[in-house]
C-alpha cells in the first residue's frame, strides 16, 4: 500500500508566513498528525507532495520513512498525485490523504482501505450544507458514477448532500494511466483527482464509499478560524478520552494537552492547565488551576496547587507544590518534598521530606533529606562566568535570607543563622552565622525633614 499526502497548497487564507500544513493543532503540525496516522497504517511507501517554497515543510517534517515529491506549479489535486508517481509502487492500493486534514482516525482509513480492496473507495460524508465540496453523483441504483466539483455542478447536482472528503483509495495499477488521461477543461482549469472516479466507472472498476465515525475527522483547515475550531474539537476529544480513562476534570472544555499525557487512577485536574511534551501523572495526583507542565513526571499522591510552571522535572510521590512554584529543567524532587510559593528550582536534586516553602532560588544544588530551606534563601550559583554547585547535606536548617555562595557545602545537621552569607563550607552539627553582631544605640535620633519656608 502507498500513501500520498497532498501538502502543496498555499494556504493564502491563513495570512501567515508559515506554510499552512505546519500550523499546529495540539502543538503538532497539521501535516505531522497526518504523517503519524499514515505511519500507523504501515504503508510500503509514504510520499508527501510539497509545493513551491515548501523547503521549510520538507525540513520540518523530514524523517527517513518519508519520500518527497515537489509539485511546482500547482495544477490541481490530480496533478499533485501525479508528481508522486515516480516514488510509489504500481502494486496494491494508493491512499490519498490531505496534509491539512489532521484528525482522520486510523480506524476510519482502515475501513476505507478494506472497502476498496477490489476497486476504488471514497471517504464521503453527508453534510447539511455541502457548499464548496465535490458532490458524489450516484445513478438510480445508488452506484457512484462520478464526482462533480461545486464550480462545475448543475443546480440539481448542487442539491446532493453526500460530499467527497478528498480522501480516496485508488488501485495503484491504474493510477498512472488514469492520471495521464485527466483534463483541465473545467471551471477551475485544474487537473482534478476526482475525475479518476468516472474513468474507473468507465472501465468497470467497482467504486465503494465509506464514512468516518465523526464529521470532525474530515474537517480541513483553510483559515485561523478553522484551525481554532479544530483545536477545540481535538482537545475535547482528548478530554473525553481522559474522563473515560478515569481522570476527573473540573471542566473538559478547559484543558489543553499538547503532547502525551499519561495518568494513573484517581487523578484530578482543575481548569486551565496546559500539558506539553511527555507528562506522566501518578495515582491520585491533583493538579490545581492554571498550571503548565512540560515534560514532567509526577509521583503518586503529589498535590500541585494553582499557577505552577514545571519543565523537564521529576517529582517524587506525596509532594506538596505551589501555588506559584517554578521547577526548571533538571529538577529532581524526592518523596514528600514541599516547594512553596515563589520558589524557583533549577538543575537540582532535593531529597525526601525537604522543604523550601517561600521565596527562594535553588540552582545547581544537591540537597539531602529533611532539609529546611528558609524564606529568601538563594544559591549564588553563578559567578558571572561559571556555574558552581551547592551541596546541602541531610537534616540541615537554613535560616531565612541566606545566600550560599557556590561552590560551597553545608555539613549534615548544620544550622545557618538567618541572613548568613555563606562563602566557606559550614561544618556539620554547628551553628554558622556570618552577620555582624547586633548593637543598639540609645539616644540615637532619626533625621528630621527639613522644612522649606
Residue 6 is a binding residue for ligand UD1 (CB under 6 A) = yes
**Of positions 92, 214, 220, 335, contacts ligand UD1 by CB under 6 A:** 220
Measured from the CB atom, the residue of 192 and 361 that comes closer to ligand UD1 is: 192
Report the nearest approach of ligand UD1 to the CB of residue 403 (Å). Answer: 58
Peptide bond into 248 cis (omega under 30): no
| Residue closer to ligand UD1, measured from CB, 224 or 435 | 224
Q: Are 394 and 409 in contact (CB under 8 A)?
A: no
209 binds ligand UD1 (CB under 6 A): no
Q: Is 166 in the site for ligand UD1 (CB under 6 A)?
A: yes
By DSSP bridging, strand 24-25 and strand 28-29 are antiparallel
> What whole-number distance in Å separates Cα of residue 337 and Cα of residue 315?
8
Q: What three-state secondary structure class fits 135?
A: strand
The piece of 36-44, 191-199, 306-314, 331-339 that touches ligand UD1 (CB under 6 A) is 191-199
Min CB(164)–ligand UD1 separation in Å: 4
Compare residues 7 and 352 and give the one whose CB is closer to ligand UD1. Answer: 7
The catalytic residues are 358
Torsion of CA 422, 425, 429, 435, to 10 degrees: -20
Among 104, 164, 235, 331, binds ligand UD1 (CB under 6 A): 164
Q: Are 170 and 201 in contact (CB under 8 A)?
A: no
Q: Give the nearer residue to ligand UD1 in terms of CB position, either 221 or 239.
A: 221
Contact residue for ligand UD1 among 4, 35, 75, 120 (CB under 6 A)? 75
Q: Which is nearer to ligand UD1, 102 or 316 (CB)?
A: 102
Binding mask 360-379 for ligand UD1 (x = CB under 6 A): --------------------
Is residue 407 reached through a cis peptide bond, with omega within 30 degrees of 0 on the bond before it? yes
**Nearer CB in complex with ligand UD1: 24/220:** 220
Q: By CB under 6 A, is residue 61 in contact with ligand UD1?
A: no
Give the residue with the Cβ less far from ligand UD1, 78 or 351. Answer: 78
Residue from 165, 124, 118, 117 nearest 142 by CA:
124
Q: Tell me the β-bridge partners of 278.
A: 260
HEC per residue, 359-407: EEEEECEEECCCCEECCCCEEECECCCCECCEEECCCCEECCCCEEECC
Residue 87 CA to residue 341 CA, distance in Å, equals 57
Q: Are 273 and 306 in contact, with CB atoms under 8 Å apart? A: no
Cβ distance 370 to 394 under 8 Å?
Answer: yes
Distance (Å, whole) CA 287 – CA 269: 5
Choose one: 188-196, 285-293, 353-361, 416-424; the region binding ligand UD1 (CB under 6 A): 188-196
Q: Is 49 in the site for ligand UD1 (CB under 6 A)?
A: yes
CA distance readout (Å), 185 to 75, 146, 150, 181, 189: 12, 16, 15, 12, 6
DSSP structure string for 137-172:
EE-TTS-EEEEE-GGG--TTGGG--EEEEEEEEEEH
Q: Is 121 in the site for ligand UD1 (CB under 6 A)?
A: no
Q: Kindly state whether residue 100 participates in binding ligand UD1, applying the rule CB under 6 A.
A: yes
User: Cell 531529597 appears where?
Assistant: 351
Determine the Cα–Cα distance for residues 102 and 255; give it in Å rounded to an integer: 20
Q: Applying CB under 6 A, does 9 fall inside the site for ligand UD1? A: yes
Return the number of the residue (191 or 263) whose C-beta is nearest ligand UD1.
Answer: 191
Choose which of 32, 71, 93, 104 interacts with ligand UD1 (CB under 6 A): 71
Q: By CB under 6 A, is residue 74 in contact with ligand UD1?
A: yes
Choosing from 22, 163, 197, 321, the residue that interacts with ligand UD1 (CB under 6 A) is: 163
Q: Does 79 bind ligand UD1 (CB under 6 A)?
A: yes
Q: Is residue 178 a contact residue for ligand UD1 (CB under 6 A)?
A: no
CA distance to 76, 135, 168, 192, 226, per residue, from 189 (Å): 8, 18, 22, 9, 27
CB of 219 to ligand UD1, least distance (A): 9
The residue within the footprint of ligand UD1, chosen from 1, 3, 8, 261 (CB under 6 A), is 8
Answer yes or no whether residue 287 interacts with ligand UD1 by CB under 6 A.
no
Q: Which stretch, 2-10, 35-43, 305-313, 421-429, contacts ligand UD1 (CB under 6 A)?
A: 2-10
CA distance readout (Å), 163 to 67, 122, 124, 196, 348:
30, 10, 5, 16, 57
Q: Under the rule (CB under 6 A), what is the footprint of ligand UD1?
A: 6-9, 49, 71, 74-77, 79-80, 98-100, 133-134, 147, 149, 163-166, 192-194, 220
Amino acid at each position: 500500500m502507498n500513501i500520498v499526502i497532498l501538502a502543496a497548497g498555499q494556504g493564502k487564507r491563513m495570512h501567515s508566513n508559515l506554510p499552512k500544513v505546519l500550523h499546529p493543532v495540539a502543538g503538532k503540525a497539521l501535516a505531522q498528525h497526518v504523517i503519524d496516522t499514515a505511519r500507523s497504517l504501515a504503508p510500503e511507501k509514504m510520499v508527501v507532495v510539497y509545493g513551491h517554497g515548501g523547503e521549510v515543510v520538507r525540513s520540518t517534517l523530514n524523517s527517513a520513512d518519508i519520500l518527497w515529491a515537489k509539485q511546482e506549479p500547482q495544477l490541481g489535486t490530480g496533478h499533485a498525485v501525479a508528481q508522486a508517481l515516480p516514488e510509489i509502487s504500481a502494486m496494491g492500493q494508493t491512499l490519498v490523504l490531505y496534509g491539512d486534514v489532521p484528525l482522520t482516525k486510523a480506524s476510519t482509513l482502515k475501513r476505507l482501505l478494506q472497502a476498496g480492496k477490489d476497486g476504488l473507495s471514497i471517504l464521503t460524508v453527508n453534510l447539511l450544507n455541502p457548499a464548496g465540496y465535490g458532490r458524489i453523483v450516484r445513478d438510480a441504483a445508488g452506484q457512484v458514477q462520478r464526482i462533480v466539483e461545486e464550480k462545475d455542478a448543475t443546480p440539481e447536482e448542487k442539491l446532493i448532500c453526500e460530499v467527497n472528503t478528498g480522501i480516496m483509495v485508488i488501485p495503484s495499477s491504474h493510477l498512472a494511466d488514469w492520471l495521464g488521461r485527466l483534463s483541465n477543461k473545467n471551471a477551475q482549469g485544474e487537473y482534478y483527482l476526482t475525475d479518476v472516479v468516472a474513468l474507473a466507472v468507465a472501465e468497470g472498476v467497482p467504486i465503494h464509499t465509506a464514512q468516518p465515525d465523526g464529521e470532525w475527522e474530515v474537517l480541513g483547515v483553510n483559515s485561523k478560524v478553522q484551525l481554532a475550531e479544530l483545536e477545540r474539537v481535538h482537545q475535547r476529544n482528548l478530554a473525553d478520552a481522559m474522563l473515560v480513562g478515569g481522570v476527573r476534570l473540573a471542566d473538559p472544555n478547559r484543558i489543553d494537552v499538547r503532547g502525551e499525557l499519561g495518568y494513573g487512577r484517581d487523578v484530578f485536574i482543575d481548569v486551565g492547565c496546559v500539558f506539553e511534551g511527555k507528562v506522566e501523572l501518578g495515582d491520585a495526583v491533583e493538579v490545581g488551576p492554571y498550571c503548565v507542565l512540560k515534560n514532567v513526571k509526577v509521583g503518586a499522591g503529589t498535590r500541585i496547587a494553582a499557577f505552577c510552571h514545571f519543565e523537564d522535572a521529576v517529582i517524587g510521590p506525596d509532594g506538596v507544590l505551589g501555588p506559584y512554584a517554578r521547577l526548571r529543567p533538571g529538577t529532581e524532587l524526592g518523596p514528600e518534598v514541599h516547594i512553596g510559593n515563589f520558589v524557583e528550582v533549577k538543575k537540582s536534586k532535593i531529597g525526601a521530606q525537604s522543604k523550601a516553602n517561600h521565596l527562594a532560588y535553588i540552582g545547581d544544588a544537591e540537597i539531602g533529606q529533611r532539609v529546611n530551606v528558609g524564606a529568601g534563601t538563594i544559591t549564588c550559583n553563578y559567578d558571572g562566568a561559571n556555574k558552581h554547585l551547592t551541596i546541602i547535606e541531610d537534616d540541615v536548617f537554613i535560616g531565612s535570607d541566606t545566600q550560599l555562595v557556590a561552590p560551597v557545602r553545608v555539613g549534615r545537621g548544620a544550622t545557618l543563622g538567618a541572613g548568613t552569607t555563606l562563602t566557606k563550607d559550614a561544618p556539620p552539627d554547628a551553628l554558622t552565622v556570618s552577620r555582624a553582631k547586633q548593637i543598639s544605640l540609645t539616644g540615637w535620633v532619626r533625621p528630621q525633614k527639613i522644612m522649606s519656608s
